[in-house]
Copies of this chain bind each other. A is one copy, B any other.
Amino acid sequence: MLATVIHDARDIRVENVPDPTLSTGGDAIVRVVAACVCGSDLWPYRGVVPTSEPHRIGHEFIGVVEAVGPDVTSVAAGDFVIAPFYVCDGTCVNCRNGVSTSCLHGGWWGSDDQVGGFADGGQGEYVRVPLADGTLAVVPGPVTEDEIPGLLTLSDVMGTGHHAAVSAGVQPGDSVAVVGDGAVGLCAIIAAKRLGATTIIAMSRHADRQALAREFGATHIVEERGDAGIEAVRALTGGIGADRVLECVGTKESMDQALRSARPGGMVGYVGVPNGGPELPVRTMFNRNVGVNGGVAPVRGYIDELLPDVRSGAIQPGKVFTLQLPLSEAAEAYAAMDERRAVKVLLRP
């Protein structure tokens, strides 16, 4: 089959790789209908995270189950499924606590599972899915073509934006500032509105993303950064800062922006993979009682809650895919995201 392999910084290739096979009894083979490139895939693409040897890449996909192992009970051949960006059993104590990203038996796409099988990367024609019962979410009934982008966002970005909002404790009537106008930040705007926020401030400098932000529910746009950005947020929030701030970037600068944009007693929900700043300034947090909550988003557990709103069109996160390409053009997909020519790119095997 064909699958995407990263060889080095800015060296993305679609290559022939071995077809996956069932091996553990609890696994499944999924034919990928759509996959995509994640902002976090850009870290190795840009060489920020070094690539020591070629490896599969991609962790967001939806598709149709081709075959299941004999122990699988909740997924069957022919089912349309959403895969979260990680593997989880759904039954361990961490999964039961709602933190399936810390599953005791889980793992990550493009690497070996805990019992010696290989879980393919998501940007390919097929994927072997370990722990299929816990990992895969079935989408009932016929799935139409125009549902594909929205469903694919439940694999990562919509659930991750929702996690930022949930972690920050967004309540009806809250003022919310969103730092980051990538796909996750835009989905965080959707999530904040969905949870009842009435003032939603998108911090964005790009006209195309500002337009999407407004379409998704942003009531205000702030283009400034640093002290000027903080002043602008305060001017929109009675002089004190936002009740909740959703940090969707992951740099030291973006976290500083988030912490200082929150009001005293406010909370920052953060989902940007920390990169470039290893530590948080505790005094900035302590003196003003600004909390920080979030992390790698347990999106598997959010699919059940968000799926009805995506299918009904009540929320339309699929609009973050501003470009669609065939899988064979994966390299161009990375380049388009790297150069910010696209918010997020959908790949079709």
Chain A interface residues (CB < 8 Å from chain B): 93-94, 97-99, 101-102, 167, 238-240, 255, 263-265, 267, 270, 273-274, 277-283, 285-296, 298
Residues of the B chain whose Cβ atoms lie less than 8 Å from the Cβ of A267: 293
Q: What CA separation (Å) do A244 and B50 show in the bound complex?
A: 36
Task: Judge whether B283 and A280 touch: CB under 8 Å.
Answer: no
- In the A-B complex, the 5 residue pairs with the closest CB atoms: A291-B293, A279-B279, A102-B264, A289-B295, A99-B265
Chain B neighbourhood of A293, CB < 8 A: 267, 291-293
Q: How far is the CB of A206 from chain B (nearest CB, A)?
A: 26
Q: How far is B102's CA from A240's CA once the two chains are assembled, in angstroms?
A: 10
Is A99 a contact of B289 with CB atoms below 8 Å?
A: yes
A279 contacts which chain B residues (CB < 8 A)? 279-282
- Shortest CB–CB separation between residue A159 and chain B, in angstroms? 13
Contact A93 B280 (CB under 8 A): no
The answer on a CB contact under 8 Å between B240 and A288 is: no
In the bound assembly, the distance between CA atoms of A264 and B286 in angstroms comes to 22
Chain B residues near A98 (CB-CB < 8 A): 265
Q: Which residues from B are CB-within-8-Å of A289?
A: 99, 101-102, 167, 294-296, 298
Separation of A283 and B298 alpha carbons in the complex (Å): 16
The contact of A295 among B99, B238, B287, by CB within 8 Å, is B287
Q: Are A283 and B278 in contact (CB under 8 A)?
A: yes
| A236 CB, min distance to chain B CBs, angstroms | 14
Instruction: Give chain B nearest CB distance to A198 CB in angstroms.
Output: 16
- Check B278–A281 contact: CB distance below 8 A: yes
Report the minimum CB–CB distance from A144 to chain B (whole Å): 34
Are B294 and A263 neighbours in the complex by a CB distance under 8 Å?
no
Chain B nearest CB from A283 CB (Å) reads 6
Expressed in whole angstroms, the Cα–Cα distance for A196 and B236 within the complex equals: 39
